[in-house]
Structure 1
Amino acid sequence: MAALYVGYAVTGDLRAARAEGAFNAHDLTILGETLHFIVPPPSGVVKVAIAFNPDMPQSRQEAEQIREAFGGDLSIAGMSLQPSSVSLSVLEATPFAVVIATEGTGTAVLQHAVVTHHAVCVTGHLSDVTNGTCQIYLTTQPSVDIRLNEAATEAADVHFATAFRIMVHTL
């Protein structure tokens, strides 16, 4: 019985550290490494839109938490990820190469903006990837799990190296 309690306590702590969808610094590092598998890979300054639904306070809150996890611009292997929080209502008019989708943004508006910008969409909400509004589900808790929706990737005309597609779960 004590062993079960300890296991429950650890699981509870992990969930508190990272709620569904919320990215932490490790997730952002993995995101940067994932971008190197795009053909051709981005370089220099990479604009990252953190999309939020203005009608959902928890979406705004998640976007703010992700923005704080960046700690300013994040440099990873020759790229400088430059984040900004962007309302879903103005996303299409905003320049970006990568969008991080928060809770409540997995809509046709997001999907259209991603396709129009030929951008990469990453989220911690698996349903947004399974329904095709976003391309990549990414989490590092409790271990790294990356899932790729190939149809959404093709629709946005974003291409990943074969090595990446072999390493991740494809939907």
Structure 2
Amino acid sequence: MSIWFWQKGSRLVGMIVMPLAILSGVGPAAGAEQQAVPDLQSLQIVARVLGFQTKPVTGTVTLAVVFNPRDSRSVKEMTSFLSLIPTHTSAGGVTLQARAASQYDLARFDHVDAVLSMEGVDSKLLQAALLRLHVPCLTLNLSQIEHGACMVAIRSAPTAGIVFNQANADAAGVHFATAFRMMVQEL
């Protein structure tokens, strides 16, 4: 499995043009951006990334699956993820306990260990919640880490990929372990 990392403003950007094209769904053969499809491997990548924080997460992790109730793509993506979790909740020493959360309910959240943001979620609402909660935000949608608040975009097909935005992580006060950063530096 190949895993690709990217840091905003890094010289590594030019080295990973193809993985960025794969993650965004844009490439020579694809015309418009394609919506990512949640699958079991995506869920396992989410759990493994959460284990790379400087304060390692183990055991049961509360994952807020944030969606925009006014966006049918967002609702569909959330429903797909939640359908995977009841039977496939563990990976990398982490057991995911997910709960759906409308983007409008984020201001009321007291305790979550991580956020999984769906297509169409308002970046400003998400960013405000992350600044208060100081938890990692993962997504399947590359644009949410390029122009939003999420730190990590994941993709499981056609190859596994991880795109990381350090500036978004710093803004939310989320820190990843040296091993995670070493993987970035190895590219």
What is the TM-score when the length of structure 1 is the normalising length? 0.81
Letter in structure 2 aligned against 1:47: T
Q: CA deviation at 1:107?
A: 1.4
What is the TM-score when the length of structure 2 is the normalising length? 0.75
Structure 2, unpaired ranges of 5+:
1-29
Structure 1, unpaired ranges of 5+:
1-14
In structure 1, the residue corresponding to 2:95 is in which secondary structure? strand
Counterpart in the other structure of 2:86: 71
Match for residue 58 of structure 2 among 35, 43, 55: 43
Given that 2:68 and 2:103 are in contact with CA atoms closer than 8 Å, whether structure 1 keeps it comes out as: yes
Higher relative contact order (CA 8 A, sep 6+): 2
| 1:131-159 deviation digits (Å, cap 9, x = unpaired) | 14211010111111101110110111111
**Number of equivalences:** 152
Structure 1 distance, partners of 2:35, 2:167, is 24
Q: CA deviation at 1:106?
A: 4.2
Q: 1:119 to 1:73 in 2, by over 3 A?
A: farther
1:25 aligns with 2:40: yes
Counterpart in the other structure of 1:160: 176
Structure exhibiting the larger radius of gyration computed from Cα positions: 1
Q: Compare the two structures and name the one with the higher strand fraction.
A: 1
Letter in structure 2 aligned against 1:157: G
Given that 1:72 and 1:83 are in contact with CA atoms closer than 8 Å, whether structure 2 keeps it comes out as: no
Structure 1 distance, partners of 2:64, 2:131, is 14
Q: 1:149 to 1:132 in 2, by over 3 A?
A: farther
Structure 2 distance, partners of 1:51, 1:35, is 17
Return structure 1 stretches of 4+ with deviation > 6 angstroms: none
Counterpart in the other structure of 2:106: 91
Given that 2:51 and 2:94 are in contact with CA atoms closer than 8 Å, whether structure 1 keeps it comes out as: no
